[in-house]
Amino acid sequence: MSLLGSEFDMKDLGPSSYFLGIAVTRHAGGLFLSQCKYAEELIERSGMSACKTSPNLVDTKPKLSAQSATLYSNPHLYRNLTGALQYLTFTRPDISYVVQ
- 3-state per-residue secondary structure call for the chain: CHHHHHHCCCCCCCCCCEECCEEEEEECCEEEEECHHHHHHHHHHCCCCCCCCCCCCCCCCCCCCCCCCCCCCCHHHHHHHHHHHHHHHHHCHHHHHHHC
Q: Which amino acid is at 18?
A: Y
* Per-residue pLDDT reduced to its tens digit, 44-69: 998 888 988 777 666 677 666 667 66
Residue 63 covered by a domain: no
Is residue 61, in this structure, part of any structural domain at all?
Answer: no
State which residues form the domain around 30: 2-49+72-99
* Number of domains within the chain: 1
What confidence score (pLDDT) does residue 30 get?
92
- Residue 28 has a pLDDT of 93
Is 40 part of a structural domain of the chain? yes
Domain membership of residue 64 (yes or no) is no
Listed as ranges, residues in the chain with pLDDT below 70 are 56-59, 62-66, 68-70
Q: Is the separation of the CB atoms in 37 and 22 below 8 Å?
A: no
Q: Give the strand pairing for 22-27 and 18-19.
A: antiparallel
- Residue 69: what pLDDT? 64
